[in-house]
Structure formats: C-alpha cells, structure tokens
Amino acid sequence: MKLRNIAIIAHVDHGKTTLVDQLLAQSGAFRENQRVAERVMDSNDLEKERGITILAKATSVVWKDTRINIVDTPGHADFGGEVERILNMVDGAIVLVDAAEGPMPQTKFVVAKALKIGLRPIVAVNKIDRPDERHIEVINEVFDLFAALDATDEQLDFPILYGSGRDGWMATAPEGPRDEGLAPLFDQVLAHVPEAEAEKGPFRMLGTILEANPFLGRIITGRITAGTVKPNQTIKVIGQDGKTIEQGRVSKILAFRGIERQPIELGEPGDIVSIAGLTKGTVADTFCDLSVEQAIPAQPIDPPTVTMSFIVNDSPLAGTEGDKVTSRMIRDRLIKEAEGNVTLKIEESADKDSFFVSGRGELQLAILIETMRREGFELAVSRPRVVFKTDASTGERLEPIEEVVIDVDEEHAGVVVQRMSERKADMVEMKPSGGNRQRLVFYAPTRGLIGYQSELMTDTRGTAIMNRLFKAYEPYKGEIAGRRNGVLISNDSGEAVGYALWNLEDRGPMMIEPGWKVYQGMIIGEHNRENDLEVNVLKGKKLSNVRSTGKDEAVRLTPPIRMTLERSLAWIQDDELVEVTPKSIRLRKVLLDPTVRKRADKSREVA
C-alpha cells in the first residue's frame, strides 16, 4: 500500500485535534455505531481537562488505497521538544491557521523547523465560519511569515484550503462547497505530499517517542528509514556518539491503524511503527540491524530556559496524604520522565534530598508536578528560576529572551504596555487585530514573565490572550521588582478557626478555610503591607457563662483566594516553597522556625 506521512501544525486552540477527529471519522476509521469521545487523540487526563495537546501522538487513515500516517503535535511552546522530534518522521505538513487570529508565535516556531528540513506545507484556514474571519489578510500574513523564515520558492507555492474542522469540511474556496466533507484535504495530501521513500540498506530507525507499557515494557516509536524489521529479530541500538548501547530481540511490532495500535508481522520502510522488547534504547537513538555502524543524525533540541528545585517534603504534615515521599522514589520518577522527554534536564543536589529540574517553561514543569501528585507523590517545589549563560568571548551574563504576543481590547492596551515595561520588556510592534483589539509584540526577559499571566488576566478583565516563544539568549537586563506584598504566616500548628480568620481579615486576603490543618511557618494569606507578619489562626472565641444583651455577631468570612498549582509557583518568592500532595497545595516558608528565619534575614542584610 502507498504511504504518506504528515504532521498537523497549529497554535493552541486553532483546532488540530478536532480536525483529526473528523479525518478519522470520514475515512471510515470508526464503526458506524462506535461511541467516540470528543478530541479522541487527547487521551491523557490532563489533556482532556485543559483542552490542550501535551504529548505528540500518531494515527493513520486509509484514503483511496493510500495509508496516511497523521501526527498530532502539541500547540504550546513549552512542549516544543515533542514537535522538533516528530518532524523527523514526516514528509509533509498541514499548517492549520485560525481565520480570525492568523499565524501565532507557536505556528511560527514549528513552521520554521518544518521549512528548515525541507517539508512542503499545505495551508488550511480553519474556523472560516467565525463572524470576525479575515481570510485574505490571514493568507497574506502566512505568506509573509514563510518568506521571513527563508522558505524556498517551492515551499512558498503552497496550496490553500478553507473550511471548518469542527463541522468537517474543507474546500478550495471560503464559501465551499461544503457537501464534499474533507475529501479535498485528503486529495491535496495525496497530490502535494511526496510518497514515503526509503533509503537502501539494512534496517534503520530513529527513536522519536518513548512510552512505558505495563504489558510490553518500553515501547519506542519512530519511522523506518531503511530496510524491514520482524518480530523476534535481533537488533542493536546506537547512540548519537556512535557507540552501541545494547543488543536485543524485538518482541513485538505495532503499527497505527485508526486510533488503535495493532501487531504486525513486518515493519516496512517509510512506515511509522512502535517496537517493544529493548530495555535501554531511548529517544534520538538509532535502532538498527547488527551490520549498521553509523547512527542517524537527530535534530538538535533547543536548550531548557527555566529550572526548579524538587525537594523531599519535610513539613510537619509530610506523609499524611501521599504514599510516595522518599528521595529515591522522586529520583526514579524524574529519571523516567527525562528518558521520554528530551527537553527536561535533571541534576541531583549534593545532599541528595533535592533535584534541579530544567525545562522549556513553567507550564511544562507544572504539568509534570500535576502528573506526579496524581500518581501519589508528595514533594516541595521552589519558585521557577531562569537558566543563565555566560558569553564565552566577553564573559557577559546572558539570559533567555522571549517574543511575547498579546491580543487585548484597545481600552486595556495602555496598562499592558506599562506592566510589560516594568518587566524590562521592549515593545517592537503594535497593530490592530480586528474587532477593536490590538496586537502588541514585545521582546521580554523570561524572568519578568514568570507569574505575569494571572496579573494580565486581572488587568484586562480576562480578555487578553498571551502567547510566548523563546527567541534567544541576550545580555542581562538588570533587576526586576518582584511581588510587592508580604505574607501572613501561621505561628503555631493545629486546625484553623473561623473566629481567628474573621479577626485577621483586615490584615489581608486569606488562602485557607476554617478546619484546615496548618503548621508553624505555613503561609495562610497575603499581607496588605510589604512585610511578613506572623499570626495566630488557632485562637477561638473566649466563652463565659455571662449572657450579653446583644446577640453574638455571626462570623461571615470572605471566600479565600484559590491557589492553583501554576498560580502558586508564580506567586511565591525565593524564600518560599509550594508543598504539593495528592490532596492539597500549601504554601510555606523554606525555613519554618521563626528564629532561624530572622537569623537568615539578618545575615542576608549584612552580606
């Protein structure tokens, strides 16, 4: 059977996964009476909850005697490492663009990688039925983007389709016809994307996606570059340095057939398959015949820009809610994660009780923490810090700079510009983006953007959309002011009392409710002033046997601030930690004892 391998590239919320649903349905991958979940490719619980794709996944459909392998890629820059590897497996790309928003930073990031390795894109303008669609300007923006990314004349001569992934139609004109479904898109893929070709020689495959299966062990997915592979065949794994990592027998070969993976008896060149049976081979390694000596070169991965400390939980409530609390368990879990996720870097501290985990952004690290807490882990994590570098020639300190695109209503543009300038951002562009909205483009240090998302939502009444993309390492921009308010700290351990919280409300907003367990050094609220304040939240009302003529006032508490994991990570300072357990997220000081804390503050002032 003829083969085509394509990737679907788009920004967050531009409709990739929804389009894949329709491609599967219209190609006959589902039975007529089969119940299918919405966004079937988002199989992970966190993906379903957040409505974003985190892990790249492959599927396949058959159209007119041709098998089309489709790879659904993440749309968020924090998961860009997935995309960079995936592009090695495909021969073409569908660039999906929203008919109103146009090409966004993440589209630019992935398209740049795709054009660089020579993929010829098909542009699909999605959501053409939006009332604020502007397809002519969007196509011009796409062309300008491709030209700016040094696309070849052949790549600039891209076919254009218009349609709605949700309604399941695509056509060569914005008005339709709509009754042909996605047939025009399938036909365009067959006509425009080159057939999957194979190189001469014995079996070779570059590992691209790694996963653990409870029945089959490690499964590595990749595209067969040359030769064929069968179950029970002995193969070897070569690292990027050319050294042999292991030899082993292939226990099973799985291929994508619709949304299911099925065992096959022969992996053919050009096809995307999964191999089980090897214990050490990982992403970017070459899986090959015993006679092969040279590794397949892998695409270089952009470096991590943000780091956090994962620390063994040592609070008084440690071990009461989770069952995985030791440093050995945390270490094993992080190493397992780093095997499959090439953008993560794990380093162990000297005392073995904490680990430095570096990644692309705070969202990527927050997803890892959220996944771990759902698996039963308890740990404490520090505030995200950026990874600095030193210029080899000048010795100058460099920091990561990001391109930030903010779409905002005109009335709020002023406050956004002011807030970004406070964060040492340089504005490079300001233009109308339709519907009384402005598109602001900044170059901003990553340090200044940590924690800005929630502040942006407050300043713009939830109407702004912010997109970020790593640009480059540039000279250090200087100090950036952090959080301005201090915190309210519990001075004792026990259960919080409603009466005490009610009396403390004029000191600042609370983060806990009556009945919650607290301990000395735990943060229970935000102080109205700049200094930290120790307070007693365990103090109940003194009762006597004398009845007063006036009725006791009922305690009416203001609802507390709900601190989600991402909000907590962005809000804390360097001397604070987030304690994460399967049931709770608590904020605390690194040093719980107030005497030790004061001594540390004094020594810092002297220094």
3-class DSSP state of 180: coil
What does pTM read for this prediction? 0.75
DSSP labels for 459-501? HTTT--EEEEEEEEEEE-----------EEEESS-EE--HHHH
Q: How many Å is the Cα radius of gyration of the chain? A: 27
Residue boundaries of the structural domains of the chain: 2-192, 204-288, 389-475, 487-543+554-606
pLDDT of 353-389, one tens digit each?
Answer: 889 998 877 778 888 898 899 899 999 999 888 888 8
CATH 3.40.50.2000 is the classification of domain 487-543+554-606: no
Q: Is there a binding annotation on residue 336?
A: no
Give the CA distances from residue 105 to residues 34, 82, 90, 571, in Å, rounded to whole numbers and listed in that order.
Answer: 37, 16, 22, 26
Q: What is the pLDDT of residue 75?
A: 55
Rounded to an integer, the average pLDDT of 327-346 is: 84
Q: What is the pLDDT of residue 551?
A: 52
Separation between Cα atoms, residue 408 and residue 396, nearest integer Å: 36
Q: What is the pLDDT of residue 261?
A: 79
Q: What is the pLDDT of residue 41?
A: 43
Q: What is the pLDDT of residue 31?
A: 45
Higher pLDDT, 555 or 231: 231
CATH number of 2-192: 3.40.50.300
Q: Is there a binding annotation on residue 272?
A: no
DSSP labels for 258-276? BTEEEE-S-BPTT-EEEEE
DSSP labels for 291-333? T--SPPP-PPPPPP-EEEEEEE--STTTTSS-SB-SHHHHHHH
The first and second tokens of residue 261, run together, are 């993976």
CATH number of 204-288: 2.40.30.10
The first and second tokens of residue 342, run together, are 């090439």
The first and second tokens of residue 468, run together, are 């970020």
Q: Look up residue 607 and give its DSSP letter.
A: -
Q: Is there a binding annotation on residue 330?
A: no
User: Which phi and psi (to 5°) does residue 401 adopt?
Assistant: -115, 140
Q: Is there a binding annotation on residue 217?
A: no
Q: Is there a binding annotation on residue 69?
A: no
Counting residues of the chain whose pLDDT is more than 70, the rounded percentage is 89
Q: Is there a binding annotation on residue 435?
A: no
pLDDT of 32-64, one tens digit each?
Answer: 444 444 444 444 555 455 555 445 567 788 888
Is residue 223's pLDDT more than 80? yes
The first and second tokens of residue 95, run together, are 């660039």
DSSP labels for 377-431? B-EEE---EE--EE-TTT--EEEEEEEEEEEEEGGGHHHHHHHHHHTT-EEEEEE
Q: Is there a binding annotation on residue 128?
A: yes
Query: Sign of the C-alpha dihedral, residues 333, 338, 340, 341?
Result: positive
Q: How confident is the model at residue 232 (pLDDT cuts 50, 70, 90)?
A: very high
Rounded to an integer, the average pLDDT of 261-278 is: 88
pLDDT of 509-559, one tens digit each?
Answer: 999 999 999 999 999 999 998 888 999 999 887 777 766 555 555 678 888
Q: What is the pLDDT of residue 79?
A: 55
User: What's the mean pLDDT when you consider all of the chain?
Assistant: 83
Q: How confident is the model at residue 581 (pLDDT cuts 50, 70, 90)?
A: very high
Using CB atoms within 10 A of its CB, is residue 99 exposed (0-12), middle (13-18) or buried (19+)? buried
Q: How confident is the model at residue 29 (pLDDT cuts 50, 70, 90)?
A: low
Separation between Cα atoms, residue 542 and residue 249, nearest integer Å: 75
- The least confident of 145-149, 209-213, 592-596 is 209-213
Reported as type and span, the H/E element at residue 47 is: helix 45-50
Is residue 587's pLDDT more than 90? yes
CATH 3.30.70.240 is the classification of domain 389-475: yes
Identify the CA nearest to 296 among candidates 311, 283, 306: 283
Are the CB atoms for 221 and 264 separated by under 8 Å? no
Identify the CA nearest to 325 among candidates 311, 335, 344: 311
Angle, CA 531 vertex, CA 527 and CA 536 arms, to 5° = 55
Q: What is the pLDDT of residue 115?
A: 86
Residues 6+ positions from 262 with CB-CB distance below 8 Å: 254, 255
Are the CB atoms for 58 and 256 separated by under 8 Å? yes
Rounded to an integer, the average pLDDT of 304-312 is: 89
Q: What is the pLDDT of residue 517?
A: 92
Rounded to an integer, the average pLDDT of 246-267 is: 86
Q: How confident is the model at residue 431 (pLDDT cuts 50, 70, 90)?
A: confident
Q: Is there a binding annotation on residue 313?
A: no
The first and second tokens of residue 567, run together, are 């909000």
Q: What is the pLDDT of residue 553?
A: 59
Q: What is the pLDDT of residue 580?
A: 93
Separation between Cα atoms, residue 375 and residue 322, nearest integer Å: 9
Q: Is there a binding annotation on residue 135?
A: no
Is residue 15's pLDDT more than 60? yes
Reported as type and span, the H/E element at residue 113 is: helix 105-116
- The least confident of 14-28, 192-206, 284-298 is 14-28
Is residue 14's pLDDT more than 90? no
| Beta strands per DSSP E along 73-144 | 92-98, 120-126
pLDDT of 451-503, one tens digit each?
Answer: 787 788 888 888 887 877 778 888 988 888 777 788 999 999 999 988 889 88
Q: What is the pLDDT of residue 604?
A: 75
Q: What is the pLDDT of residue 555?
A: 72
pLDDT of 157-187, one tens digit each?
Answer: 889 999 888 888 889 888 878 888 888 888 9
Reported as type and span, the H/E element at residue 171 is: strand 169-171
Q: What is the pLDDT of residue 135?
A: 87
Separation between Cα atoms, residue 125 and residue 100, nearest integer Å: 9
Q: Is there a binding annotation on residue 583?
A: no
Separation between Cα atoms, residue 534 and residue 512, nearest integer Å: 15
